Amino acid sequence: MEWPACLDEFLSRMNTPRVVIDNAVCPTATLVKVDSARKHGVLLEAVQVLTDLDLSINKGYISSDGRWFMDVFHVTDHIGRKLADDSVISYIEQSLSPGATPRSATLDGLTALELTGTDRPGLLSEVFAVLADLRCAVVEAKVWTHNGRIAALIFVRDEDSGSPIDDPQRIRRVEARLRHVLKGDHDIRGAKTATVPLPSLTHSDRRLHQLMFADRDYERISSAKTTFSSSASSSQPSIVSVQHRTERGYSIVNIKCGDRPKLLFDVMCTLTDMEYVVFHGTIDTEGDRAHLEFCIRHLDGSPISSEAERQRVIQCLQAAIERRASEGLRLELHTMDRRGLLADVTRTFRENGLSVTRAEVSTKGQMATNVFYVTDAAGHPADPKMIDAVIQKIGVESLKVNERVCGTRPAGHEAAAGGGAALFYLGSFVKRNLYNLGLIRSCS
């Protein structure tokens, strides 16, 4: 029996996410409401779109009933204001529509390298030196370190022709040289390198989470370097708990930690990639603290079933929170791009006793804009004399210290977050649903 054409159209509309963006309800924030048929990963997709626009999700409600879900996010821009740019609003609506392809076109024509291994002072300098020696120009890169491990996603092209590096023999040589550097003399788990086709590459930050998760960075290693965090909330540790709620068929994840940009995205990446589904949840921020609560199940509908699994979820979520927050002093390099620039800069860091805990590399035209988070070799705050020596060596006009406290909300965030009561107009029935299910203490 064939389905009527009108029914096909109806089902298509049912599965199309509906996005409502409201600037009238709340005086201090923009409400973004997304509702759609429920499917695995759709919540992460919505959060990813908002995060990629550098928006802060100050409050949020997540509710799922049967095959449907609704998310309400209370968002502001990077300086705590409501969304006023029509192009941003239009981008949000279009990006959440079916068939959207958020991958940046700037990556076309590049070769993607994935690296994981044991972190050590000066390692990034050696990696960039190898790439320069092999005439691989680094166009974009992201590097994370956590718990003694390093993960990197590096986009390169041929230094001479500007073309992608697609010769299999050359690729094997690049991978082998990098793997040798990553192993070093003190490797404890083994290093991995891979070349990934761009069409198959997922979101870069999510991919870094996946690389570190696969590398088991969530497992504590006694010999791992302790990384200094410059976050304002570093004195207050993250608290993650998981409770069984067998009468409701959910496991309850509770997170209390320092608030920072992209926190919700990092948590959702981990839950999604561990194949858990969020059915209900609340996100709340106040000052520099965040409180997140989620009701989760496995993809097959079952809750967390053992103490070992519960502990693993806690470990993995703590790692997801820490990876991006493990930062030192932020140094920003803006200069003309040239061959061997990254190798020279990171070698200068190493020679002056600095260790890179995180890096973001970007090249547009002839200009290189790079961000490095640095500590001393032991993971402690770098001596100002070290920083001054590095700046003098690289150039005071090119390398600057960003005094902004890393991993925290903008100055106007606290005021922006104060309008939570206004979210009631779209979110109250969601919160009441959670209350009726016995999943939160109060719906007021």
Q: Furthest-apart CA pair in the chain: how many Å?
A: 78
Residues 19 and 70: beta-carbon distance below 8 Å: no
**Taking 90 as the threshold, does the pLDDT of residue 438 lie above it?**
no
Query: For residue 72, what are the β-bridge partners?
Result: 33, 61
Angstrom distance (rounded) from CA 40 to CA 45: 10
pTM score, whole prediction: 0.85
Tens of pLDDT, residues 367-386: 999 999 999 998 899 999 99
CATH topology of domain 105-202+328-402: Alpha-Beta Plaits (3.30.70)
pLDDT tens-digit readout, 227-248: 333 333 445 788 999 998 766 7
Please give the residue that has the higher pLDDT: either 352 or 412. Answer: 352
Query: Which of 213-217, 368-372, 436-440 shows the lowest mean pLDDT across its residues?
Result: 436-440
How confident is the model over 190-208, as a mean pLDDT? 85
Give me the half-sphere count of Cα atoms (radius 13 Å) on the Cβ side of residue 129: 14
Structure-block tokens of residue 423: 């979210």
- Sorted by where each begins, the domain ranges of the chain are 17-102+229-325+413-436, 105-202+328-402
Which candidate, 377, 274, 228, 369, places its Cα nearest to that of 40? Answer: 274
| 3-state helix/strand/coil string of the chain | CCCCHHHHHHHHHHCCCEEEEECCCCCCCEEEEEEEECCCCHHHHHHHHHHHCCCEEEEEEEEEECCEEEEEEEEECCCCCCCCCHHHHHHHHHHCCCCCCCCCHHHCCCEEEEEEEECCCCHHHHHHHHHHHCCEEEEEEEEEEECCEEEEEEEEEECCCCCCCCCHHHHHHHHHHHHHHHHCCCCCCCCEEEEECHHHCCCHHHHHHHHHHHCCCCCCCCCCCCCCCCCCCCCCCCEEEEEEECCCCEEEEEEEEECCCCHHHHHHHHHHHCCEEEEEEEEEEECCEEEEEEEEEECCCCCCCCHHHHHHHHHHHHHHHHHHHCCCEEEEEEEECCCCHHHHHHHHHHHCCEEEEEEEEEEECCEEEEEEEEEECCCCCCCHHHHHHHHHHHCCCCEEEECCCCCCCCCCHHHHHHHHHHHHHHHHHHHHHHHHCCCCCCCC
Question: What is the per-residue pLDDT for 107?
Answer: 75
Range of 34-48, 50-64, 209-223, 236-250 with top mean pLDDT: 50-64
Cβ atoms of residues 326 and 357 within 8 Å: yes
Q: Which two tokens stand for residue 441?
A: 């203490």
Tell me the C-alpha distance between 340 and 342, whole Å. Answer: 6
User: Tokens standing for 351?
Assistant: 């020679």
* pLDDT higher than 90, residue 440: no
User: Residue 199: pLDDT band by 50, 70, 90 thresholds?
Assistant: low
Residues 6+ away with beta carbon under 8 Å from 407 = 229, 230, 231, 232, 258, 260, 261, 324, 325, 327
pLDDT band at 327 (very low <50, low <70, confident <90, very high): confident
Alpha-carbon span 426 to 4, nearest angstrom: 35
User: Looking at 38-47, 100-109, 306-315, 427-436, which range is the least confident one?
Assistant: 427-436
Pick the more confident residue, 404 or 20: 20
Q: What is the pLDDT of residue 17?
A: 74
Residue 356 backbone class (left: φ over 0; alpha: ψ -120 to 50; beta: rest): beta
pLDDT, tens digit, for every residue of 267-282?
999 999 999 999 999 9
Residue 444's pLDDT is: 42
Phi/psi of residue 181, each to 5°? Answer: -65, -45
The CA distance from 364 to 375, in Å, is 27
Which of 7-11, 86-90, 213-217 is the least confident region? Answer: 7-11
pLDDT-above-70 percentage for the chain:
79
Please give the pLDDT value at position 95.
Answer: 84
